[in-house]
Amino acid sequence: MSPQRITPGARARRALLIDVIVAALLATLVLSLAAGLGVVAFFALPIFLLGLLWIGIERLARRLRN
């Protein structure tokens, strides 16, 4: 069998997914070790969720245009 070819887009998405998972694990570790950063997380979490919503809306709009 020949090896499957992975498109550059799929490779980039996998790399991004791994980066996001590592970032989430590091953020969880830091927040558990430093309680003062919990205040930062309290304000950063809504901003993060709004960013994810924004990205989702842009992707949906792009799919609907195509």
What's the structural domain count of the chain?
Answer: 1
DSSP string, 41-59: HHHHHHHHHHHHHHHHHHH
Q: Which residue has the higher pLDDT, 58 or 2?
A: 58
42 assigned to some structural domain: yes
The per-residue pLDDT for 37 is 67
Closest by CA to 31, choosing from 15, 17, 48, 12, is: 48
Q: Which residues of 24-58 are buried (b: 16+ CB within 10 A; e: fewer)?
A: eeeeeeeeeeeeeeeeeeeeeeeeeeeeeeeeeee
Domain that holds residue 31: 8-65
Instruction: State the pLDDT confidence band at 2, using cuts at 50, 70 and 90.
Output: low
- The amino acid occupying position 16 is L
The per-residue pLDDT for 33 is 75
The per-residue pLDDT for 34 is 76
Tens-digit pLDDT profile for residues 4-61? 788 888 888 888 889 999 999 998 887 777 777 677 778 888 999 999 999 999 999 9
2 assigned to some structural domain: no
1 assigned to some structural domain: no
